[in-house]
Amino acid sequence: MLSSVHNWLAYVDFAVEHSDRLLVATLEHIEIIAFAIAIAVPIGVGLGFLITFDDRLATAVIWLAGVMMTVPSIALFGLLIPYFGIGAPSVIVALVLYTQLPVIRNTYVGLNDVDPAALEAGEAMGMTRLQLLRRVQLPIALPVIMAGVRNAVVILIGIATIGAFIGAGGLGDLLFDGISYVRTEMIVVTTVILSLLALAVDYAFSISEQLFRLNNGEQVESSATMRLLQRVIS
Amino acid sequence: MITFEHVTKQYADGTVAIEDVSFTVEEGTTTVLVGPSGCGKTTTMKLVNRLEDPTEGTVYRDGTPLSEFDRIDLRRNTGYVIQEIGLFDHMTVGENIATVPRLNGWDEDEIDARIDELLELMDLPPESYREQHPPELSGGQRQRVGVARALASDPDVLLMDEPFGALDPITRESLQDEFLKIQAELDTTILFVTHSIDEALKMGDRIAIFDVGEVVQYDTPQAILDEPKNEFVEDFIGSDRPLKKLKVTQVEDVMSPPTEEVATAGGVADATAPVQSDGGSTVSPLEPTDTALSALSRLVASEDGRLPVVEDGDVVGTVSDEDIRRSNAGDKP
Ligand SMILES: Nc1ncnc2c1ncn2[C@@H]1O[C@H](COP(=O)(O)OP(=O)(O)OP(=O)(O)O)[C@@H](O)[C@H]1O
Ligand SMILES: [Mg+2]
């Protein structure tokens, strides 16, 4: 009992004492992920859209993106270093590859989820292919795509830590230090930050996903937060 | 005006949906395409706004071959209620109706006014329906929104593919009646698809009866009932052809001139007063535009063999079951 209180204090002490380093590492971590997502989402959505035109291509692309996810991150970094060098660029490329499955798959599913009759009606009323995409398919697919991105970001927060192994920085640095110097408080505090980060991102995305659904007139089980948001918005 | 000239449509998989079809839809009239499932009705509609192009023959709009029109322009100028309605569930009813006006670049103010106007026309008060989403509506209400959406930019041509198909008989009947009223106010050329001969007889100025892939008879409802071209048409109309004829015949076409007794003083007031029927409910007097069928049904219920026909408070004629019988036999009285 006493020792656990003692531990808690040690963790808090550590967090306070190293707050600067923790903050810098957290920001670095977020930056890497933001970069990766900014690159990955347009690619994934684009591919997801393209494969709606060809079922066989769709199967192949989704399978490939799935295989991607099974390659261990360390191996992937190793394969990328010859092309992108040591450091953040290789890590970002790897992260982009890891997020393709959820983003492509959800885009594909979301776009295909549109009632064929609605598409036919749109075409019959004189919408061009692009107008159909923008006014009918995308609004319906957005919440589903959003769910894919949410999935991807949460995966990335974990995988990005391994990037520290090849000098990309971020919270992974502190984890590796903690392991090398056997400093439990360092490992625990970093892990807590990582988990909080993942939870916060997950929550933020789930809210935006629900907002998209509400905007489409779908029924959404409203949580307290949603009700608050709705009141703020209206 | 829409003209089909020896039009054949064969799909990529080899299915010949229609073969050598020719007919003309006059400006401002309603033509109903009727026939069994799979006979090519939807295909015929799709040819009119170039969702499909003919393999052989030509479709004209006001004398100009459709191939000379831009597909997109043509479609934005042609209202189309597709068979499955296809409302956009993620948009509100108002946004659904605004689709084509938006594509055509109308002002938001104009669009707003148009949405309200159409919702009123369709008997869906804008205050309660404008902001609803289609999944919240009943089947009949969705159909109305589909029709409103197709009418939004005041198209010259309106295509309606079984617009009242999936409805219960009562809702269907009332929508038909409402649409007949709306149709009278529009000068739109309408192509209407159904597989119900009753609906065709009720809605059409002209009817094209389809058998698999071909038009068997193209004529007015009266002419089709009077002279079915062959056994297929006869079977399609059914064994109650005489009754169907009564439905498309108006009282004024069968009535006799007013008789002495009703025309003399006092008789008029009597005849024009609401009639007390056996059930005790009040029935308004027969009008010249009522159907011969409703006249017959009143004759059957009434004790008199002859009923007065009243227009604007004046007796303009009388009708007996003999009058009706005579007209049904096909002889002109
Ligand atoms: N895109 C297509 N490709 C191949 N064949 C088609 C296509 N669309 C329709 N057909 C075929 O063409 C024929 C006519 O179809 P169409 O949809 O025009 O019939 P319909 O009279 O509207 O039938 P229903 O009353 O069931 O709606 C059918 O045999 C149908 O299977
Ligand atoms: Mg059809």
* Digit-coded pLDDT (tens) for A114-141: 999 999 999 999 999 899 999 999 999 9
pLDDT band (50, 70, 90) for residue A3? low
B11 Cα–ligand 1 center, Å = 9
pLDDT of res. B158: 95
Report the residue among B4, B8, B41, B196 best suited for mutation to probe ligand 1: largest number of ligand atoms under 8 A from its CB. Answer: B41
Residues of B at the A interface (Cβ-Cβ below 8 Å)?
49, 51, 71-76, 80, 82, 84-92, 99-100, 103, 133, 135-136, 149
Lookup: tokens for B255:
């009535």
Neighbours of A212 (CB within 10 A): 21
Residues 6+ away with beta carbon under 8 Å from A130: none
Q: Region B138-144: what's the mean pLDDT?
A: 91
Domains of chain A, CATH where assigned: 2-202 (1.10.3720.10)
Percent of chain A with pLDDT over 90: 60
Residue A220 has pLDDT above 80, yes or no: no
Which of A161, A166, A162 shows the shortest CA–CA distance to A87?
A166
Rounded to two decimals, the pTM is 0.80
Asked if A33 and A156 count as a contact pair (C-beta separation under 8 A), the reply is: yes
Kindly list the protein residues whose Cβ atom lies closer than 6 A to any atom of ligand 1: B 11, 13, 15, 17, 37-43, 83, 195
Kindly write down the DSSP assignment for every residue of A109-172, as one continuous string. Answer: HHHHTS-HHHHHHHHHTT--HHHHIIIIIHHHHHHHHHHHHHHHHHHHHHHHHHGGGGT--SHH
Residue B280 has pLDDT above 60, yes or no: no
Quick one: how far is CA A200 from the chain centroid? Answer: 12
Q: What would you measure as the largest C-alpha separation in chain B, in angstroms?
A: 74
- Comparing B165 with A98, the larger pLDDT belongs to A98
Does any CB of chain B come closer than 8 Å to the CB of residue A118? yes
Residues A39-98 have pLDDT tens digits of 999 999 999 999 998 999 999 999 999 999 899 988 999 899 999 988 889 999 999 999
- Cβ-defined contact of B88 to A118 (cutoff 8 Å): yes
Lookup: tokens for B84:
């499955």
Percent of chain B with pLDDT over 90: 55
Phi, psi angle pair for B133, to nearest 5°? -105, 145
For residue B136, the chain A residues in CB contact (below 8 A) are 217
pLDDT band (50, 70, 90) for residue B332? very low
Nearest to B90 among A119, A120, A217 (CB): A217
Q: What is the DSSP letter of A221?
A: P
pLDDT of res. A222: 63
Residues B41-98 have pLDDT tens digits of 999 999 999 999 999 999 999 999 999 999 999 999 999 999 999 999 999 999 999 9
DSSP, collapsed to helix, strand or coil, labels residue B148 as: helix
